[in-house]
Amino acid sequence: MKKWGFLCVPLGWARWMRRDAAAAWLFLAPSAAGFAVFYLIPFVMGVMYSFMSNTSGGQFAGLANYRELLASDSFRKAAYNTFYFSAVSVPLMLALSLGLALLLNRQIYFRKWLRTSYVLPLVVPVASVIIIWQMIFDWNGALNYILSWFGIDRVDWMKTESARNVVIAVYLWKNIGYNVILFLAGLQQIPKDYYETAQIEGAGRFRQFFGVTLVYLTTTTFFVVIMSIINSFKVFRETYLMAGDYPHDSIYMLQHYMNNMFISLDIQKLTAAAALMVCGIMVIVFGLFGLERRYRQFME
Amino acid sequence: MRVIRMIQKGLLTALMGVFGLLLLFPIVITFTNSLMTEQELTINYGVIGKLTEVTSSGAETFVNLKWLPDKVTLEQYGELLVYSPNYLLLFWNSAGLVVPIIIGQTVVAALAAYAFAKLNFRGRDSLFLVYLLTMLMPFQVTLVPNYIMADKLGLLHSTGAVILPGVFAAFGVFMLRQFMLHIPYAYIEAAKMDGAGHFRIFLTIILPMVKSGLAALVILLFVDYWNMVEQPLIFINDPFKQPLSVFLSRLSGEWDTVFAASMLYMAPMVLLFLYAETYFIEGVQLSGIKG
């Protein structure tokens, strides 16, 4: 009987359930258990592997893996490309999506339809438009055809440095709608009287934009920047499906590198690269959060 | 004055419309091309991927990107649905991965989100931060340990290796928490006064109030996982268990079916989006507003 005792304590049970912390852990249990098994523990294991000479029964190797990794040309190239891609595409994305959101927020016909057309690419599976990208960016593709009208020579889009631009274009196509709706939400939260006050005080369109719109969009902008960076890492899927394991040098990203290290079973380099990438992402994210907090204090 | 304003408005609309059409272009062209015959497609696109022949002759050969088919036909769809049972199988595989993930993650995340949004416990905020951080990491970061973990749990090469990490992903927790934060504490206090336990409160008060959040989550998860490529590629090596996304990427050049296959693959997403657009947009927007 004692074994099942915990089942017949309705009185104590009810009281216990009403205590927040205990209830919280019960609600959290399924998620926390699975999260630990599939995310947290693997993550910690990954970091540990990056310091070991061998995954099974290896020894502590200190920073040897990292030293080797940093000496590897293909890693440096991949890290540079990933950084370069984010550094170019995120500001571009920010400017374009903010511009579109501002225009969509003005007096305009068919606003809802236009918004729909901007967001639709977001839900289209990558794999089903790969064929279209190939038709456009091929040596004999539609883009080169259009360029030939203007007497511009063909460009081998996927197999030269221009591949960077292709990836940026695909990234913008896919993600712009996401940021536009985030910005739209931010814009709609700015009270109308702020603009009226600014107008009464004699601020022009320009002043209003910088003095009111941009200031009140700060929180949204930080979120958009973070999401854009995260999404810029996801563009790997497109490049992978378009160009395979070894695309042109200029679009060989960290994820390609990690993928290839996985295939060649170079676990040390892979985990070290992953740990470095995590550090990089954390520095960026915490840096942005810190910046935002500073900015908000400054505003108040 | 009013006329000028209307012209302004019209011009702006036209400009935005052109941009919108540019974005819609790949989707529209996939649709119209899916109605073409194989012959027509081969003639129009046969030059894709052929490099040397063309340059040496110097001839101006380009793809002939066509909007409208000469002859509208459902041949491609027929070919896919009637003559290649493989396609249906892969479609079914995709659904078999996505549906359990959506159901599982929604249930698990709703429970956890309640704890994060409305209950107090020690370490709540730091634990949530850990959840958030994993959401930001690319899949490749935990590739090896995930692989080893799947191996230890005996999940390798089965769909479980893809489904289970999907069920416990942090995104749902994050999103539903955002929705639940907006529910005033007064509702919960009142229910407590009436003697309701936390589970009762969760079922009868919280869940009905985040209905739109749940709908948004289901759509966003559907979009995300219908689209997945990397996970099945690594964890499932039986080609007959692969989802459509992996298969489709190898289909270029098979002009008899490729556009119809793409179209059928994106159709559920596009239709669901058009049907539930307001939920989708609300979901995205609310996840962007700081809680």
Query: What pLDDT shows up at residue B76?
Result: 86
Which tokens in the block code for residue B83?
């003559």
Query: What pLDDT shows up at residue B45?
Result: 79
Is residue A12, in this structure, part of any structural domain at all?
Answer: yes
Domain hosting residue B18, numbered range: 2-49+69-76
Residues B39 and B158 in one domain: no
Q: CB pairs below 8 Å between A and B: how many?
A: 308
Tally of structural domains, chain A? 2
Residues B155 and B34 in one domain: no
For residue A239, which amino acid is it? T
Is the CB of residue B163 less than 8 Å away from at least one CB of chain A? no
Is residue A287, in this structure, part of any structural domain at all?
Answer: yes
Residues A188 and A45 in one domain: no
Residues of chain B with C-beta less than 8 angstroms from the C-beta of A103:
12, 15-16
Residues B85 and B214 in one domain: yes
Query: What pLDDT shows up at residue A263?
Result: 85
The answer to whether the beta carbons of residues B241 and B163 sit under 8 Å apart is no
Residues B191 and B101 in one domain: yes
Residues B15 and B116 in one domain: no
Is residue A62, in this structure, part of any structural domain at all?
Answer: no
Provide the chain B residues 77-96 that lie in CB contact (below 8 A) with chain A: none
Tally of structural domains, chain B? 2
Please judge whether B108 and A106 are an interchain contact, meaning their C-beta atoms are less than 8 angstroms apart. Answer: no
Of B109, B103, B121, B118, nearest to B201 by C-alpha is: B118
Is residue A58, in this structure, part of any structural domain at all?
Answer: no
Query: What pLDDT shows up at residue A18?
Result: 53
Query: What pLDDT shows up at residue A2?
Result: 44
Residues B201 and B241 in one domain: yes
Selected for mutation to probe chain A from B1, B249, B250 (highest A CB count within 10 Å) is B249
Is the CB of residue B262 less than 8 Å away from at least one CB of chain A? yes
Residues A150 and A23 in one domain: no
pTM: 0.85
Is residue A64, in this structure, part of any structural domain at all?
Answer: no
Residues A169 and A237 in one domain: yes
Please judge whether A140 and B47 are an interchain contact, meaning their C-beta atoms are less than 8 angstroms apart. Answer: yes
Residues of chain B with C-beta less than 8 angstroms from the C-beta of A145:
62-63, 65
Please list the pLDDT of chain B residue by residue as tens digits (291 residues).
788 888 988 999 999 999 999 999 999 999 998 898 888 888 777 777 666 554 544 555 777 777 788 888 888 888 888 877 788 888 888 999 999 999 999 999 999 999 999 888 888 989 999 998 888 888 888 888 888 888 888 888 888 899 999 999 998 998 899 889 888 888 888 888 888 888 889 999 899 989 888 988 998 899 889 988 888 888 887 878 888 888 777 766 677 788 888 898 899 889 999 998 888 888 888 776 644
Domain hosting residue A34, numbered range: 2-49
Residues B232 and B127 in one domain: yes
Residues of chain A with C-beta less than 8 angstroms from the C-beta of B252:
130-131, 134
b or e along B192-217 (b: 16 or more beta carbons within 10 Å of the residue's beta carbon)?
eeeebbbeebbeebbbeebeebbbbb
Residues B40 and B100 in one domain: no
Is residue B57, in this structure, part of any structural domain at all?
Answer: no
Is residue B64, in this structure, part of any structural domain at all?
Answer: no
What is the complex's ipTM, to 2 decimals? 0.84
Residues B213 and B160 in one domain: yes
DSSP category for residue B122: T
Is residue B90, in this structure, part of any structural domain at all?
Answer: yes
The answer to whether the beta carbons of residues A140 and A156 sit under 8 Å apart is no
Residues B43 and B172 in one domain: no
The answer to whether the beta carbons of residues B284 and A182 sit under 8 Å apart is yes
Over chain A (300 residues), what is each successive 10-residue block's mean pLDDT?
44 56 89 92 87 73 85 91 92 94 88 90 87 85 84 82 90 92 88 85 83 84 86 85 84 89 86 90 88 80
Is residue A41, in this structure, part of any structural domain at all?
Answer: yes
Is residue A229, in this structure, part of any structural domain at all?
Answer: yes
Is the CB of residue B245 less than 8 Å away from at least one CB of chain A? yes
Question: Which chain B residue's Cα is nearest to A189?
Answer: B289
For residue B8, which amino acid is it? Q
Handedness of CA A292, A295, A297, A299 (dihedral sign): negative
Is residue B223, in this structure, part of any structural domain at all?
Answer: yes
Q: Across the interface, which of B108, B269, B272 has its CB nearest the CB of A34?
A: B108
CATH number at residue A175: 1.10.3720.10
Residues B130 and B191 in one domain: yes
Residues B156 and B266 in one domain: yes
